[in-house]
Amino acid sequence: MNILTLMETFAAVVETGSFTAAAEKLGLSKSFVSKQVSILELDLGTRLLYRTTRKLSLSDEGSQFYSHCKIIMAEAENARAEVMDSQRAPRGKIRITVPQSLIISGFGRLLIEFQLQYPEIELEVIASGRIENLVEDGIDIALRVGQLEDSSLIARRLAECTFQVVASPQYIKKWGTPQQPADLMQHNCLIYGDSKINRGWPFRSPSGELITVKAKGSLTSNDGGLVVEGILSGLGIGFGPCFLYRDHVEAGRLQLLLNDYYQPATTISALYPLNRNLSRRIRILIDYLAERLSEE
């Protein structure tokens, strides 16, 4: 008999707690259900269920096997739902957490354009740089910039970016241009407080030496917009991902500093739980972001 059919029957017995209830759920006779479980145990060469007149209980092997059954049944249902869902426009809700630096850089515009393209998908966007517990917090996707910590999350690379040092022309005219990372200690550095590197700006010298500067200055904030405004106003020097400053650099409002000391490009990644079966709408969003971010 088909192993998938036997697994479905066994899972139904476990979930309903009896052969009678499982038979009713599956539309089969109690004797047939009992026979299928016996066939499965014979095939596996082990007892899965302990049967008494009052209740059923799982053996250790049965508990382990049931865990596999749940995953396989869920995958089968997802495959069915995916094929059915592919026949209609994607819909439903996606909870996504995004660093504020991405939001204020214009990334939010991409999400708006996505919703215009897929109007039946509802987005809940949480601006945060924390690595939340995605499963506990009910978050489908987390976007992150930079090196990722080891975790149980799956990472999909979306694009590359470089961290840059910038200042306004008026600041440079008044205070001069740092020639090497150590010179930043003599400058007013504006700190984005929601970043892992907020107190240690990393560089690599032309010879390959790793350098970390403990930046300090008159303004620290977890509001990236405020930090960028301070840099544009000539208050101090800033350090952050290139997408945060790109438009201002191209318009001449900011200038790049210490170009010879930048670290190699880092990544913008989409993270999602290892055991999360991605729905079609989530895969569509990730593919969309990968395409648009790589273009920009």
Supply the DSSP symbol for 237: B
22: its two tokens: 């499982």
Across the range 212-236, mean pLDDT stands at 92
CATH number of the domain within which 212 lies: 3.40.190.290
* Residue 200 burial (10 A CB sphere; 0-12, 13-18, 19+): exposed
CATH number at residue 271: 3.40.190.10
Average pLDDT over residues 157-175: 93
Instruction: Answer yes or no: do 145 and 28 share one domain.
Output: no
- Across all residues in the chain, what is the average pLDDT? 87
For the stretch 84-134, pLDDT in tens is 766 677 888 999 988 888 887 778 889 999 999 999 999 999 887 666 677
Q: Is the pLDDT of residue 252 over 90?
A: yes
* Residue 173 DSSP label: H
The pLDDT tens digits of the residues spanning 1-39 come to: 688 899 999 999 999 989 999 999 999 999 999 999 999
Nearest to 163 by CA among 79, 268, 41: 268
Q: Please, which pLDDT band fits residue 73 given cuts at 50, 70 and 90?
A: confident
C-alpha span between 117 and 273 (Å, rounded):
26
Q: pLDDT-based confidence at 243, cuts 50/70/90?
A: confident
Centre a 10 Å sphere on the Cβ of residue 213 and count the other Cβ atoms it contains.
22
Q: Does 97 lie in the same domain as 80?
A: no
Other CB atoms closer than 10 Å to residue 239's CB: what's the count?
27
Structure token pair of residue 239: 């350090």
For residues 75 and 221, state if they share a domain.
Answer: no
Closest CA to 165 of 247, 217, 241, 224: 241
Same domain, 153 and 71: no
Give residue 55's pLDDT. Answer: 80
Q: Quote the pLDDT of residue 87.
A: 65
pLDDT at 248: 94
Task: Find where tokens 């998908």 sit.
Answer: 121
Domain match, 249 and 113 both? no
Which pLDDT value is given to residue 238? 95
Q: How confident is the model at residue 251 (pLDDT cuts 50, 70, 90)?
A: very high
**pLDDT for residue 202 is more than 70:** yes
> Mean of the pLDDT values across residues 179-197?
87
Beta strands in the chain (DSSP E): 49-51, 56-58, 92-98, 121-127, 141-145, 153-161, 163-167, 191-192, 201-204, 210-213, 220-221, 238-241, 255-257, 266-273
Whether residue 140 sits in one domain with residue 115: yes
Domain tally, the chain: 3
The pLDDT, as a whole number, for residue 100 is 80
Same domain, 201 and 212: yes
The pLDDT score that the predictor gives to residue 86 is 64
| 176 shares its domain with 213 | yes
- 73: helix, strand or coil: helix
CATH classification of the domain holding 17: 1.10.10.10
Last residue of one domain, picked from the residues 69, 85, 101: 85
Mean pLDDT of 206-211: 90
Say whether both 260 and 192 belong to one domain: yes
pLDDT over 90 (residue 249) = yes
DSSP 139: -
Residues 138 and 275 reside in one and the same domain: yes
The pLDDT of residue 150 is 54
Tell which of 35, 69, 85 closes a domain: 85
Residue 272 pLDDT greater than 90, yes or no: no
Terminal Cα-to-Cα distance of the chain (whole angstroms): 54
Which range marks the domain in which residue 45 is found? 3-85
Q: Of residues 212 and 100, which shows the higher confidence score? A: 212
Instruction: Assess whether 96 and 50 both reside in one domain.
Output: no
pLDDT at 119: 92
Quick one: 80 and 122 in the same domain? no
pLDDT at 48: 93
Final residue belonging to a domain, choices 31, 55, 85: 85
If one compares 52 and 270, the residue with the highest pLDDT of the two is 270
Q: Which helix (H) or strand (E) holds 249?
A: helix 242-250
